[in-house]
Chain A
Amino acid sequence: GENVEQHPSTLSVQEGDSAVIKCTYSDSASNYFPWYKQELGKGPQLIIDIRSNVGEKKDQRIAVTLNKTAKHFSLHITETQPEDSAVYFCAASFLSGGNQFYFGTGTSLTVIP
């Protein structure tokens, strides 16, 4: 099955700086890559996603890039704010045989005011 690796596991940045979280996947059939934000005591929340026919997608301060050849995708957060502090998960869809999808291990982001 699919294997999704996520790095780093923890990340601290100063407010206003950028944060980058990277994920790699193993199955070239994967074609959908969402990112989730999980705040303390809450369930994950989808913040952005990208499909394999697109190389980059932006939504205000958040962007995701995908390199299909290298099988990796990244989350970029610019102008970070304290409220960006949370755990971020990447995921990859593996559509063969049904709606299978796999999550990365998570990155705990701390934005220091």
Chain B
Amino acid sequence: DSGVTQTPKHLITATGQRVTLRCSPRSGDLSVYWYQQSLDQGLQFLIQYYNGEERAKGNILERFSAQQFPDLHSELNLSSLELGDSALYFCASSVGAHWYQETQYFGPGTRLLVL
């Protein structure tokens, strides 16, 4: 158990809908990262938040947005969902802002299926 929790574990929705994925980092970690893992795109970094502020952006679509709250939990919002958004979404956390200086701990993921 990494100490990172993600809810829900599974999510089934329809095209055009909007969903929110939630992540709680390990106690003491200030950074939260979001990743998308799909069969055709592999593992992709989406976005990082550090202590409530956006720190780095990867291949995140404009239809997607995220935020980190004062209690450090984070939410990833996916809107106008398309079939291609079906994937595993992982959250990871680390203590500091620079991922390359420390270990990221991954949560178990949320499996999203868009029908």
Contacts and interface: CB of A to CB of B under 8 A. Distances in A.
B42 A101 contact: no
A47 B42 CA distance: 19
Nearest to A95: B100
Interface string A19-54: 000000000000110100000011111100001000
A10 to B, nearest CB: 14
Interface residues of A, number: 22
A93 interface: yes
Interface in B1-29: 2, 4
B90 A43 contact: yes
A44 B90 contact: yes
A19 to B, nearest CB: 20
Nearest to A93: B100
Contacts of B100: 31-32, 34, 51, 93, 95, 99, 101
Interface residues of B, number: 23
Contacts of A104: 42
A98 B90 contact: no
A75 to B, nearest CB: 16
A85 to B, nearest CB: 19
Contact of B92 (A43, A93, A100): A43
9 contacts: A34-B100, A42-B109, A43-B92, A45-B106, A93-B100, A99-B97, A99-B98, A103-B42, A105-B42
Given A99-B100, A103-B45, 13 more contacts: A41-B108, A43-B92, A43-B109, A44-B90, A45-B2, A46-B103, A89-B43, A93-B99, A99-B55, A99-B99, A101-B45, A101-B100, A103-B43
